[in-house]
Amino acid sequence: MSLTAPSARRAVRTAPLIVTALCAGAFALLAVLVTSRGGAPFPLDTDALDWSVGHRSSPAAVTAARAVTASGTGPYPYLCAVVAGLLAGRDARHRLVAAAGALVFLLAGQAARYGLLAAVARPRPPMADWLTHASGFAFPSGHATTSALAAGLLIWGLLRFGRVSEAIPGLLRGALIVLLVCWAVAVGLSRIYLGVHWATDVVGGWLYAATWLGLGASFIPARSHLPAGRSHHEHSPYPPPDGR
């Protein structure tokens, strides 16, 4: 058996850790920079806010932005977490456990985010530029974080579901994943457009969410997605050790 197979397995196992470390490092650096400036905006932040304020002449665009931003909070992300767990489970009991686990994972991520908000204590943009309600500190953006976590959990659920069932064709799963990524990005951008967050608040939210999702992906058991009665070798792209 070629030595490339174990190497590929190790690469698959370590990839989430590497990505997580990079996102965590980038988030930590951004948080330090924000804190060192006392929360003052960067040139990117003021440029993005100025652009947003100058492109609000269309009532339809403002209404659409408010609708998108509303989808990133309230019960919707938590419903997404439950659906993700139901998709990821291989049987009725496992679906309930996975749904509860996904919900706890999201809640824990939110709790840690509140701690970061208080620690950084960054003020929001001037209230005169707001086009929607907002409260609390700015960094990292709650809507950007929450929608990215919800999208990540749903992507995880779709990928797991695809390994145990063909009920959702691969092409449709791919399209849904792209839509989920676009939704999370749109929610973050809507916060900038509506004037309630600096651009770096949103970037910080995405980096934090990527870090949290990466930590979760790094500790998910490699065999947990296999359906009952199926062996690891039936799903593995590599042959069993005896070559069968």
pLDDT for the residue numbered 5: 62
**Model pLDDT for residues 21-71, shown as the tens digit of each residue:** 999 999 999 999 999 999 999 999 999 999 999 999 999 999 999 999 999
CATH number of 13-222: 1.20.144
Predicted TM-score of the model (pTM):
0.84
- pLDDT tens-digit series, residues 216-235: 887 765 444 444 444 444 44
User: How large a percentage of the chain has pLDDT more than 70?
Assistant: 84
Q: How far is CA 231 from the centre of its chain?
A: 31
Over residues 171-196, the pLDDT tens digits come to 898 999 999 999 999 999 999 999 99
Residue 124 has pLDDT above 60, yes or no: yes
Most confident of 73-77, 87-91, 158-162, 203-207: 203-207
pLDDT exceeds 70 at position 160: yes
- pLDDT the model gives residue 14: 78
Task: Report, in angstroms and rounded to the nearest whole number, the Rg of the chain calculated over CA atoms.
Answer: 20
Domain residue limits, the chain: 13-222
The Cβ of residue 231 has, within 10 Å, a number of other Cβ atoms equal to 10
User: What confidence category does residue 89 fall into, taking pLDDT thresholds of 50, 70 and 90?
Assistant: confident
Note the pLDDT of residue 148.
98
